[in-house]
Structure 1
Amino acid sequence: MTPDTRAQLTRLRHELHQSPELSGQEELTAARIANELRARGADQVLTGIGGHGVAGVFDSGQAGPTVAIRCELDGLPIQELSGAAYASRIPGKGHLCGHDGHMVMVLGVADHLNQNRPQLGRVILIFQPAEETGQGAIAYRTDPKFPEVAPDYVFSLHNLPGLPLGDVQLCEGPANCASRGMKVVLSGKTSHAAAPQDGVSPAGALAALMPQMARLGRGGSLDADFALTTVTHVNLGEPTFGVAPGRAELWVTLRTVADARMQSLIDEAEALVAQAASDQGLGYEITYEDVFEACVNAPDAVDILSGSCARAGVNCEVTPYPQKFSEDFGQFGKDAKAAMFWLGSGEKHPQLHNPDYDFPDELTPVGVSVFVATIQSLLR
């Protein structure tokens, strides 16, 4: 990567950083990306995939595999406090997970492909919406346009605070935990606060369920039995002194390494809710949001990435331990050999989703070099 290209990508990253859009709302970001791909000589640019998804196609015109590089478009509903000169201009929204950096790395790959077309097969650059809600990859992969760009191999990355800057960590097998948000609504009957006995309050059930849910999944070793339950939000009644409550909400995040363990954890959590509601004479409703299946790296794709890091001169550690946080990238592995790697943001860098997080621009050429080496290993 030339200094001019690197500077151009940095400026572009800062511009994207200033205008984050939330999951499912990435219209302007997608339009900007589509124009950037056209300017970089993509043979075809598809838009509106799974919402605001974009695909840039670089086709050799020769038979061969289709290799995809995937990144994300969406930001987060968090007020940025980084203090950067290019900080978000949108109140309450920020690129505080590094998706702006991921986008420019993939555009850096497009810069390379513009000058060095694949010798065989095709490269598909995937810009996916709505990763943060777990809905984007499903919508992208099931869109009627997806068969036009369906890959044989697909690779992605995520920057990782806590890992030395520019180092790569690569997981064998499970790479990200499955997770889902469990929303429990307990329904009783309100009454005057002077006569609580004439109502049916969910307070007791709520008080019992909070520690029960916490004990249900205690975390521990990241193996097939790993389960973690985190109470994230509770609400009881209305903010008034005159009404005994008749409704409560409990939000819990369920997290496991394996999808099979997730199903058993769901069964256990739902049984606790049913018992607590029955004991207190309450009705209840359970719904799920932000559903992520486990992300599992294919062995062949892991070997390819490991070799790519070696050729790119990037330090790479292969580990059997997945990340606890979730990713919807695993959806692409249902149709292709897929693998995601972690690119270190620095051992003391602010954590993902922190209000003071900012993507390190030093990572851009590193990510581009690994992706380029991966494409070359398969299409040359």
Structure 2
Amino acid sequence: MFLTDGELSEIKAFRRELHRNPEVSGEEAETASRVTEELGRTRPDRIVAGIGGHGLAAVYEGVASGPTIMIRAELDGLPIEEISDVAHRSTVPGKGHLCGHDGHMAILMALAKGLGHERPAKGRVILMFQPAEENGAGAAAVLADPKFATLTQDLSLSLHNFPGIRLGHVLLKEGPVNCASRGMKIILKGKTSHASYPEQGIAPTFVLARLLGDLTALGNNGPLGPDYSLVTVTHARLGEPAFGISPGEAQIWATLRTLTDEAMAALVSRAEELVQTQAKAGQLQVEISYEDVFRQCYNSAEAVKELRRALDDEGVSHDDASSLLPMKASEDFGLFRTVAPAAMFFLGAGEDHPRLHNPDYDFPDELIATGSRVFMRAIRNILG
């Protein structure tokens, strides 16, 4: 390990402080402030704040010119009440770091301390603390921010902890690793009437009922190949909770999921055509909008090659996990591949560890050393 036991203990304490004070997507101001203060002690060449919201990046310049490596972690927690009995459990009602982003930040902080001790021989390293990963808005906001234009990179790397596989074992493969997904919000508008005279209004009742089944039927939920698709209705509402009113409005929320961005475009087209056709037949107006939009996450060959080399050099066990990857869940790191080759590896959090987004989840501190060692080895292999 490139840090002393004392430094590693400090980073574990930093992780636990983040865990006590989670902030959800778009609200990470205090988290960003804590990270900035801690980064300052590592003497980066510069810190770029306010990227895509509350995002920030620490830049460590090498001695000579060369390529740029960006390594990314996430700032946000989840709007879920934590129920664990750990001493550092969340102090914020209804919010928790139940996906491990506090641990991912700690891994980058370990890298910051290491780079503070010794800069790379060439190039530069960017440690990116990204906001709003959980709702899919963060990566897009970062890339759209003019400040990001000063942070061009040649390679982007990331990780995510992965409960269900043994502690410290890594899953890594080239190609698709996370699905594209998006939340489709449908509002159907007709006209209310008295419940005793429903014929005097235009109720969306039957259109809503048909769409619940027809939208779901658009997905095949088959093997995770190029044709995979899934539509999950997550919420539906009809009118108001009253007995005297025949409803005039309805809502459906559905999550669309595919393996590739191309398949997502086709699924969106079919879903919108279906909704418009049904709404027209029911004499309804319709509004369609999208939230939680995630692009597919695809591991580039050149980035995977460097991560495999680092894993081998550090003696970290790994495999391509053909039975587990790609996964149906989404991750907005995939958007960074639009500007540079990128790859994410998945770091085992323990076979019996509580799963991601479970209310009793807590990031295993043992992974801080493993994750940071792999990234630092990749940095030294490429930049010297």
For normalisation by structure 2, the TM-score amounts to: 0.96
Q: Is the 8 A contact 2:63 2:119 kept in 1?
A: no
Structural mapping, 1:219-258, within 5 Å: 219-258=221-260
2:319 to 311, 317, 320: 317
Q: Is the 8 A contact 1:60 1:118 kept in 2?
A: yes
Q: What residue in structure 1 maps to residue 124 of structure 2?
A: 122
Q: CA deviation at 1:192?
A: 1.2
2:376 to 367, 372, 376: 372
Deviation track 1:168-204 (CA, whole Å, cap 9, x = no partner) reads 1112111211110000011111111122222211111
Q: Is the 8 A contact 1:59 1:122 kept in 2?
A: yes
Q: What residue in structure 1 maps to residue 268 of structure 2?
A: 266
Q: Is the 8 A contact 2:216 2:232 kept in 1?
A: yes
* Amino-acid identity (%): 51
Residue 252 of structure 2 aligns to a residue whose secondary structure is strand
Q: Is the 8 A contact 1:300 1:337 kept in 2?
A: yes
Structure 2 residues not aligned, in runs of 5+: none
Q: CA deviation at 1:215?
A: 1.7
Residue 355 of structure 2 corresponds to residue 357 of structure 1: no
Taking the aligned partners of 1:317 and 1:118, their CA distance within structure 2 comes to: 29
Give the letter for the 1:93 counterpart.
K
Taking the aligned partners of 2:294 and 2:340, their CA distance within structure 1 comes to: 18
Structure 1 residues not aligned, in runs of 5+: none
Q: What residue in structure 1 maps to residue 286 of structure 2?
A: 284
Taking the aligned partners of 2:161 and 2:303, their CA distance within structure 1 comes to: 19
Q: CA deviation at 1:275?
A: 2.3
State which drifts further: 347-356 or 227-236: 347-356
Residue 65 of structure 2 aligns to a residue whose secondary structure is coil
Q: What residue in structure 2 maps to residue 84 of structure 1?
A: 86
RMSD (Å) for aligned C-alpha atoms: 1.2
Q: CA deviation at 1:103?
A: 0.1
1:13 to 7, 12, 15: 15
Taking the aligned partners of 2:343 and 2:69, their CA distance within structure 1 comes to: 12
Residue 63 of structure 2 corresponds to residue 52 of structure 1: no
Aligned length: 380
Q: Is the 8 A contact 2:68 2:153 kept in 1?
A: yes
Taking the aligned partners of 1:142 and 1:275, their CA distance within structure 2 comes to: 35
Taking the aligned partners of 2:45 and 2:273, their CA distance within structure 1 comes to: 54
Q: Is the 8 A contact 1:172 1:319 kept in 2?
A: no
Q: What residue in structure 1 maps to residue 167 of structure 2?
A: 165
Q: Is the 8 A contact 2:69 2:124 kept in 1?
A: yes
Deviation track 1:126-152 (CA, whole Å, cap 9, x = no partner) reads 101111121111111221111222111
Residue 6 of structure 1 aligns to a residue whose secondary structure is helix
Deviation track 1:194-230 (CA, whole Å, cap 9, x = no partner) reads 2222221111111111121222113221111110111
State which drifts further: 176-185 or 77-86: 77-86
Taking the aligned partners of 2:299 and 2:79, their CA distance within structure 1 comes to: 29
Taking the aligned partners of 1:141 and 1:285, their CA distance within structure 2 comes to: 28
For normalisation by structure 1, the TM-score amounts to: 0.97
Give the letter for the 2:343 counterpart.
A
Taking the aligned partners of 1:43 and 1:231, their CA distance within structure 2 comes to: 48
State which drifts further: 275-284 or 25-34: 275-284
Taking the aligned partners of 2:265 and 2:146, their CA distance within structure 1 comes to: 30
Deviation track 1:244-284 (CA, whole Å, cap 9, x = no partner) reads 11111000000111111101111111122122212322111
Give the letter for the 1:299 counterpart.
A
Q: CA deviation at 1:81?
A: 1.3
Give the letter for the 1:343 counterpart.
L
Taking the aligned partners of 2:27 and 2:297, their CA distance within structure 1 comes to: 24
Taking the aligned partners of 2:169 and 2:261, their CA distance within structure 1 comes to: 29
2:96 to 94, 97, 108: 94
Give the letter for the 2:110 counterpart.
G
Residue 63 of structure 1 aligns to a residue whose secondary structure is strand
Residue 81 of structure 1 aligns to a residue whose secondary structure is coil
Give the letter for the 1:323 counterpart.
M
Deviation track 1:331-361 (CA, whole Å, cap 9, x = no partner) reads 2111111111111111222221111111111
Residue 171 of structure 1 aligns to a residue whose secondary structure is coil
Q: Is the 8 A contact 1:71 1:103 kept in 2?
A: yes
